[in-house]
Structure 1
Amino acid sequence: MKMHNFKYEGSGLNRFFGPLEAKIMEILWTTTAALTIKEVQAKLDQDKVMNFNTVMTVMNRLVDKGILQKNSVARSFMYKPVVTRDVFMETQSKELTFDLIEEFGSLAVTHMVDALDKVDPDLLDKLELKIKELKKDR
């Protein structure tokens, strides 16, 4: 699943989701079982009172986007993420990287390498190993 609205000004999940979507996803990702809308609403209510219909609308939009799975159980619906948070972030970062390289080519790669030096020196070693693996496989 590729998210189409990446926000540069956000951070974390807020780069991919609206504020309420991000809170809902965080709740569902930190819970091991599927939850109902009321259960999610109750967890959201710890911050402030949230309207049931608003939560339902947002959760159903996340289903439409392919982020949540919705199953009928008894007389209610249970929602759970399609993938884990880690898998989601891995997939989105990969898609974003591919898009940047496709559009900006060597400029994107150069800027990524420059950023590695500022963020974490160990990443340069990992990058060097990855490049060696790629060259070996060709």
Structure 2
Amino acid sequence: MRRLGELEAEIMDRLWSWGRPATVRELVDDLNRTRPLAYTTVMTVADVLHGKGMVHREKDGRAWLYEPTRTRESYTAALMQDALAATTDRSGALAHFVGQITPDEQDALRRALRSLNGDDQE
């Protein structure tokens, strides 16, 4: 899974945050609050995201409605999996990772592992 480009990430962030399908016009209007972008630029990037399988689109009148095909968490997990695939020492990489996350994140990781192993009773 390739990391998203800057504008791709901004578009996906909005779609994930809004939790509903959106048109390019809605995306452009929101993105233009922080920086000027042409409608055609956002439309092109939304089309690229569709080609990458990151969004599904459906015709709504003359416009396309774009909706994420995966959750933000699923995307993040895929990036983490790719990062692990870059090493021959997965255990070492995981140990370094766990050593760098906060205690709250370590607790969340423990809960996730217990849940996956069916040991989610505390």
Place the TM-score, normalised by the shorter chain, in its bin. 0.7 to 0.9
Q: Which residue of 2 aligns with 1:76?
A: 63
Q: How does 1:1-138 map to 2 (within 5 A)?
A: 3-4=1-2, 16-97=3-84, 99-100=85-86, 104-106=87-89, 108-120=90-102, 123=106, 126=110
Runs of 4+ aligned structure 1 residues displaced above 4 Å come to: none
Deviations along 1:85-105, one digit per CA (max 9) or x if unpaired, are 1122123323432x13xxx32
Q: Distance in 2 between matches of 1:76 and 1:50?
A: 18
Aligned-pair RMSD on alpha carbons? Answer: 2.5
Q: TM-score, normalised by structure 2?
A: 0.77
Q: TM-score, normalised by structure 1?
A: 0.69
Post-superposition shift, 1:116?
A: 2.0
Taking a change above 3 Å as real, the CA distance of residues 110 and 47 of structure 1, as seen in their structure-2 partners, is same
* Matched positions, count: 112
Q: Percent identity?
A: 25
Q: Distance in 1 between matches of 2:93 and 2:69?
A: 33
Letter paired with 2:48: R
Deviations along 1:80-124, one digit per CA (max 9) or x if unpaired, are 110111122123323432x13xxx323x42232134234346739
Q: Where do 5+ consecutive residues of structure 1 fail to align?
A: 5-15, 134-138
Taking a change above 3 Å as real, the CA distance of residues 116 and 65 of structure 1, as seen in their structure-2 partners, is same
Q: Where do 5+ consecutive residues of structure 2 fail to align?
A: 118-122
